[in-house]
Structure 1
Amino acid sequence: MRIAVIDGQGGGIGKHIVEKLRQEFADKVELWAFGTNALATAAMMKAGANDGATGENAMVQNLSDVDIIVGSVAIVAAHSMMGEMTPVMAEAVSKSKAKKMLIPINRCRIEVVGIKSEPLPHQVHHLVKRIRDLWEVEQSV
């Protein structure tokens, strides 16, 4: 299973996601880090991603080759992350046939109504559990 983790700005959310996925799966999954900037990519690489790339073209060229895309809900919104998420990046995420697993971080003027507001570590825990469920189903086939 190949998982793309997308983050921007300082890469803190992506770093946390990569760390937890690496703890849960060790080397059983391949983690690709995609940053909207080099700082975000570097943070996710340091956290244990297998590979990483920065920017618009990297996302356009590679997001069709992953099974799951994870990040905050902002990764599907053009001009989010203080303008770092370009329309082309958001479109690449949306057009990919990969399953999208988005954390509802209520920043960037996007609010997901009906979702319980929880601290990031709790949301990442739910994300990792859901990916674990999908991974187990894939392994049993």
Structure 2
Amino acid sequence: MRIAVVDGQGGGIGKHITEKLRKELPEGTEILALGTNALATAVMLRAGANEGASGENAVVLNAGRVDLIVGPISIVVPNSMLGELTPKMAEAIAQSAAAKILLPLIPGRTTIVGLKSEPLPHLIDELVRKVREAQAD
């Protein structure tokens, strides 16, 4: 299975996701770090991603080349992450045939109802459980 972890800004969420996936998933799982910027990509690579690429073209190109895309829900919201997540990136991720497992984190004025408020480490644990289920299918 080839999993893309998408993050931007400082890459902190992607780092935690990548570390947890690397620790919990079988050795042959391929993790691709897709950062909206080089810093985010570098942080995810240090956390254990196999490969990494940065910027709009990298995200657009690779969104269709993976089996699963994970990250904060803001990766499908145009102009999120202080504008780092471009409309083309959001569209490519949203339209990708890859399954998506997204964390309900959107800073600002957007609220997603029907979700319980959990600390980030608990949300990442749930994301990893969902990835394991996707691998089993």
Please classify the TM superposition score into its range, dividing by the shorter chain length. Answer: over 0.9
- Scaled by the length of structure 1, the TM-score of the pair is 0.93
- 1:134 counterpart residue number: 134
Give the whole-Å Cα distance in 1 for the aligned partners of 2:26 and 2:135.
13
Q: How does 1:1-141 map to 2 (within 5 A)?
A: 1-137=1-137
Letter in 1 for 2:88: V
Residue ranges of structure 2 left out of the alignment (5+ in a row)? none
Give the whole-Å Cα distance in 1 for the aligned partners of 2:18 and 2:62.
18
Letter in 2 for 1:113: V
User: What's the offset of the Cα at 1:136?
Assistant: 2.0
**Residues 2 and 30 of structure 1 are in contact (CA less than 8 Å); yes or no, is this contact kept in structure 2?**
yes
How many residue pairs get aligned? The number is 137
- Scaled by the length of structure 2, the TM-score of the pair is 0.96
User: What's the offset of the Cα at 1:104?
Assistant: 0.2
**Residues 9 and 84 of structure 1 are in contact (CA less than 8 Å); yes or no, is this contact kept in structure 2?**
yes
How much is the aligned-residue C-alpha RMSD, in angstroms? 1.0
Give the whole-Å Cα distance in 1 for the aligned partners of 2:8 and 2:75.
9
**Residues 56 and 89 of structure 1 are in contact (CA less than 8 Å); yes or no, is this contact kept in structure 2?**
yes
The percentage of counterpart residues that share the same residue type is 58
Letter in 1 for 2:82: M
**Residues 7 and 40 of structure 1 are in contact (CA less than 8 Å); yes or no, is this contact kept in structure 2?**
yes
107-116 vs 11-20, which moves further: 107-116
Instruction: Give runs of ≥4 in structure 1 deviating > 6 Å.
Output: none
Give the whole-Å Cα distance in 2 for the aligned partners of 1:135 and 1:20.
15
**Residues 69 and 101 of structure 1 are in contact (CA less than 8 Å); yes or no, is this contact kept in structure 2?**
yes
